[in-house]
Each structure stands twice: as structure tokens, then as C-alpha cells.
Amino acid sequence: MSLPAYESLTLKATRVELKDGVVVVTLTRSKERNTFTKDLVNEIVLLFDLFDKDDRVRVVVLTAEPNAPAYCAGADISGGWDGLWNPESEKEGEHAHRDSGGVVTLAIFRCRKITIAAVNGHAASPDCNSHLTSDLPWSGAKFALPFVREGIAPEAVSSYLLPKLLGTSRALSLFLSGATITVDSPLLQGLYHTLLPTKEEVFPAAYAFAQELAQNTSQTAIAVTKALVWHAADTIEEQHILDSRAIRSLGAAADGAEGTRAFKEKRAIKFPDTLSKNLPSWVPWWHELDIKHRKAKL
């Protein structure tokens, strides 16, 4: 498959810049507080699918413009929830609806690279800062999970992710109280890699972290590690058989050889393997459900 030759892209709701393995996605609808419009959703899905396939990309940084009033204000419900239903799925019935927050989360979830959310403003819903890998937010950023106060269910597969990420106790406290808290709350402790004291420090810190990871991590090792965590076996014995095979496959590949050689020679590392050419043939070991209506067998 051929990918568009891009170094930078300017789309309707986002701006993209790729350099040295790090791609930065900036949400550009600052005036609309980066609400979850159809454009934004479509672009995020398209971009993360692209980054997944583009071997040049090692780390994705997701951020808002420095002076944006919010990092992401969630769905635009000024016209009520009805504005969110898709006319095509409406013909089928309510079971055909697909929450756009979840569509975005799944696109980020499917992308086998590292994603760092540089949350440099308030986030009115977990849609954008999906906590799927390593986020660096501003410690004063407000984080809202207002669903039960809006008469609706949690968006963006957060009812699946948050209990696993944080434990069910804090997830339930947040969901059932419909909390709006700052990200330095003890209820979120451990959700973020690092908290930054000011908005201004967030992007530079996230970008430096991204550059360091792009230079020093193996693309295949990252993809397999994410998969071992999110698609773990049912029992510890099965996982042992799975991770043993992963260690044997990756250890015998070029990245594994470079890993020990660079360590021995005490020099900077340069991993040659790419996802498109060097991922072991038995990955993925799980079956992924197609979420498109009529393709999803449930």
C-alpha cells in the first residue's frame, strides 16, 4: 500500500508535522474549544490509521494550540444529543449507532505506536486524552466525567478503559459522582506519566520525551509490548508461552541484536526493524471485532 508523501499536513481541524520519528498532531479548532465535530473525528481516525502504517512514525504527540481556551471540550451538545446521531445509522435503529468518542479512542488504541497526549488545557471529556499510553498534562487542567449529570452513559469506551487503567474503585468514584476535578487529584494519581506545573511547560516536555523515545525504542518491541498488555492471555501460563515466543522472535531479529550490541559498545542505539517488514508473522494472535455495523457479529 502506498502512503501519501507528507512531512506536514494542514487539515480542517488538525495540523500535522513529522520530524525524526515524532509526529505532532495539533488540534486547531481553538475557537470552538476543539469540540468533537465530525471533521475532528474523521481526521483523528484517518491520521492514526496512517501513523500505524507509516514506518517513519515512532511516537505521536497530540496537543492543542498554546493559546487554546481548552485542550478538548468534548462533544458539542449545544443542539442536544440529537445532533450527534448519524442519519444513516438512524435508519437502521439505535443498535447501529457508534459513539464518535469511542471511534476516536479505538483508532488511537489500534495504532501500534506510542501516543503521548500533551494536555495543555482543560479536557471536558476523556475523548481526547485517552490515556492509552503516556500522557503529560498540565496539573491544573480540569478533567470532567459529567455523564450521569447529563443523563447519559460514559463516552469513548471510558467505562472499559478507566477501571483497567486506574482500578474499579476510583473509576466508579469518578463516574458515579460525575466529577469535574483537576488532574492532580488523588483520584487520578497514576493515570498520567508526569504532571507539569504550567500549561506552557506541557508541550516542550512532551516533545522532548517523544524525541527521546523515538530515538531509543524499538518499533517492533513497542508494538508487541502494547499487544501483550492489552491482549493478554486468560491465564499466566498461556501468557508465559506467548511472551516467551515474543522474546525469542524479537531477540533473534535485527532490533534485538542492535539492543545488546549498542549496550556492549556503549554507543547510541539505532533500531533498524519496522512494523511493515519485521513484525513476527504470528502477530496479531487475537481476533479483532469489526465495529462497523453489519460487520459486527454480536
Residue ranges in 107-136 that form contacts with its own copies under rule CB under 8 A? 109, 114, 131-134
**Count of positions (residues) in the chain:** 298
Q: Which of residues 138-157 bind its own copies (CB under 8 A)?
A: 147-155, 157
Give exposure, 7-42, as e/b (b: 16+ Cβ within 10 Å). eebebebbebebeebbbbbbbbbbebbbbbbeebbb
Only segment of 15-23, 44-52, 82-90, 197-205 that touches its own copies (CB under 8 A): 82-90
Nearer to its own copies, 28 or 191 (CB): 191
Is 181 a binding residue for its own copies by CB under 8 A? The answer is: no
Task: Report, in Å, the least distance between residue 168 CB and its own copies.
Answer: 5
Q: Give the alpha-carbon dihedral of 6, 113, 49, 143, to 10 degrees.
A: -110
Task: Report, in Å, the least distance between residue 254 CB and its own copies.
Answer: 8
Q: Which of residues 202-241 bind its own copies (CB under 8 A)?
A: 209, 213, 216-218, 220-222, 224-226, 228-230, 232-233, 235-241
Nearer to its own copies, 28 or 135 (CB): 135
Is 74 a binding residue for its own copies by CB under 8 A? The answer is: no
Q: At what angle do helices 168-177 and 158-166 cross, to 10 degrees?
A: 130
Q: Give the separation between CA 30 and CA 122, rounded to whole angstroms.
A: 12
Task: Report, in Å, the least distance between residue 215 CB and its own copies.
Answer: 10
Q: Which of residues 238-297 bind its own copies (CB under 8 A)?
A: 238-241, 243-261, 263-264, 269, 271, 273, 288-291, 296
Across 67-173, the runs of DSSP E, i.e. the strands, are: 114-118, 142-144
Q: Which of 168, 204, 208, 277 binds its own copies (CB under 8 A)?
A: 168
Q: Give the separation between CA 228 and CA 69, rounded to whole angstroms.
A: 38
Nearer to its own copies, 65 or 139 (CB): 139
Q: Which DSSP letter does residue 153 get?
A: P
Q: Give the separation between CA 285 and CA 291, rounded to whole angstroms.
A: 19
Q: Which of 128, 191, 196, 206 binds its own copies (CB under 8 A)?
A: 191
Residue 21 cell numbers, joined:
520519528
Element (DSSP H or E) covering residue 22? strand 22-27
Nearer to its own copies, 28 or 219 (CB): 219
Nearer to its own copies, 3 or 247 (CB): 247
Task: Report, in Å, the least distance between residue 153 CB and its own copies.
Answer: 4
Is 106 a binding residue for its own copies by CB under 8 A? The answer is: yes
Cβ-proximal residues to 32 (8 Å cutoff; 6+ apart), any chain: 73, 76
